[in-house]
Amino acid sequence: MPTIQLLVVQPTPFCNIDCRYCYLPNRTSKAVVARETLQNLFSQVFASEWLGGGLSVVWHAGEPMVLPIGFYRDAFALVEALRPPELQVVHSFQTNGTLIDDNWCRFFAEAQINLGVSIDGPQHFHDRNRVTRSGRGTFERTIAGIRLLRRHGVPFHVISVLTPQSMAAAREMFDFYIAEGIEQVCFNVEESEGDHISESFREADAEALYYRFLGKFWQLWTAAPGKIRFVREIETALQQVIRPKEAPFYNQLIEPFAIISMDWAGNIATFSPELLGLKNPVYEDFILGNINRDALVDLADSPVLVRMLADIKVGVTMCREQCEYFSVCGGGEPVNKLAENGTFASTETSYCRITKMRATDLVLDALDRIPPEGFDAAAIARVTGV
């Protein structure tokens, strides 16, 4: 029986900016999800036997903040009315930050939103790709939003998309976060998805660039304790490498319905959230059904899901048999295999070599410098990424 861990809801496909590396289609459409569609989704999710003790709901578009605060007040009230009393629901937003104002800050605090803001570092890195439809940079608006969040005491993390230029500037990136009081940092590497072909993947030394960047960033982070509290890529790599032998590794991206994604029209997809909205005739655009006409639990028997799962399992088996990094990866990300290799039934990608293998190498290389007699939590904490 599947266990839903993450529910990704697209309230609208519309985005108020036009990032050059964005893979999402229909970003000019101002369609909005109907209240009935949300009710159908959450009532069926809550009525299923696919839930554990908690559920994370990510409102991810498009740009979720193009809809008014009142929309989310109504949506959250609907969710709360349907929620089983024993189930904890946490709402998250991923936003470009350009629309943050005092009212939004008060709402984020009131609703206890887990907030992620997309900013790609200093202005000359950010404005290279994160632009308006007229091609103007969005840095000033985004950084103004981040400063407002800090002024209101609203917790947030940032996600920065790394390019070859920013990966060559670890010190500048680190200093930027410190200067702006940004304490939680996540990195995404510009990747090939949908119609977007990654500039980073075309770089001959992309893997070395990422390794050096992450290593230098780790060194700077360790040398300035208390300045940045969390760096996702380093923390994740450490947790995956240093874990009890008996601890299972779970890759939710390859498990049916561990992640459920729904677009504004009620179309349902699973596995990698990025699949929803992409076009593919072999897998019928990855759509398992529609929550307004289909029962969620019946989608487990969808012919589309059966085809996807069969090919994904072949790819996972190939990874298990061929890749020495399988224990820290668990079979990779289906969307990247399809984008780079043309099929789920495949193994290694540029994305996994850069973000999984090289991050793992960094941790292993650091641990190799700890003498066996000094190998403890304190020693690991002192390790740098030099």
How sure is the predictor about 385, in pLDDT bands with cuts at 50, 70 and 90?
A: very low
Residue 362 falls within a domain, yes or no?
Answer: no
Which structure tokens are listed for 166?
């920013």
Task: Find the CATH number of the domain harbouring 230.
Answer: 3.20.20.70
Higher pLDDT, 380 or 254: 254
Residue 364 falls within a domain, yes or no?
Answer: no
Pairing label, strands 267-270, 259-262: antiparallel
Whether residue 87 sits in one domain with residue 62:
yes
Residue 279 falls within a domain, yes or no?
Answer: yes
N-to-C CA span, the chain: 44
Q: What percent of the chain has pLDDT over 90?
A: 81
Whether residue 159 sits in one domain with residue 189:
yes
Residue 386 falls within a domain, yes or no?
Answer: no
166-180, 187-201, 252-266: least confident range: 187-201
Where do we find the tokens 């909005």? 32
Last residue of a domain, one of 212, 241, 270: 241
d(CA 5, CA 51): 8
Residue 355 falls within a domain, yes or no?
Answer: no
State the chain's mean pLDDT as an integer: 91
d(CA 246, CA 349): 28
The three-class DSSP label of residue 227 is coil
Q: Please state the rounded mean pLDDT for residues 170-183.
A: 98
Kindly report the pTM of this predicted structure.
0.91
d(CA 199, CA 225): 33
- How many CB atoms within 10 Å of residue 327? 13
3-state SS record for 131-187: ECCCCCECHHHHHHHHHHHHHHCCCCEEEEEECHHHHCCHHHHHHHHHHCCCCEEEE
Q: Please state the rounded mean pLDDT for residues 278-284.
A: 93
199 neighbors 163 (Cβ within 8 angstroms) = yes
Whether residue 219 sits in one domain with residue 306:
no
How sure is the predictor about 192, in pLDDT bands with cuts at 50, 70 and 90?
A: very low
d(CA 241, CA 386): 18
Which structure tokens are listed for 39?
């009710």
Whether residue 209 sits in one domain with residue 100:
yes
Residue 368 falls within a domain, yes or no?
Answer: no
Q: What are residue 184's phi and psi, to 5 degrees?
A: -130, 120
Residue 370 falls within a domain, yes or no?
Answer: no
Whether residue 278 sits in one domain with residue 227:
no
219 neighbors 385 (Cβ within 8 angstroms) = yes
At 254, the amino acid letter reads I
Whether residue 324 sits in one domain with residue 223:
no
> Which range marks the domain in which residue 256 is found?
252-348
d(CA 241, CA 122): 31
Rounded to whole angstroms, the maximal C-alpha distance in the chain is 62
Whether residue 126 sits in one domain with residue 226:
yes
58 neighbors 72 (Cβ within 8 angstroms) = no
Where do we find the tokens 């897998």? 283
Which structure tokens are listed for 209?
């660039």
Q: How far, in whole angstroms, is CA 151 from its chain's centroid?
A: 26
Whether residue 177 sits in one domain with residue 58:
yes
Whether residue 261 sits in one domain with residue 129:
no
Whether residue 227 sits in one domain with residue 261:
no
How sure is the predictor about 22, in pLDDT bands with cuts at 50, 70 and 90?
A: confident
Q: How many residues does this entry show for the chain?
A: 386
Q: Which of 211, 247, 256, 386 is nearest to 328 (CA)?
A: 247
> Please, which residues have CB within 8 angstroms of residue 43's CB and are 6 or more apart in sequence?
82
pLDDT reported for residue 380: 57
Whether residue 153 sits in one domain with residue 27:
yes
Whether residue 295 sits in one domain with residue 170:
no
Residue 233 falls within a domain, yes or no?
Answer: yes
The total domain count for the chain is: 2
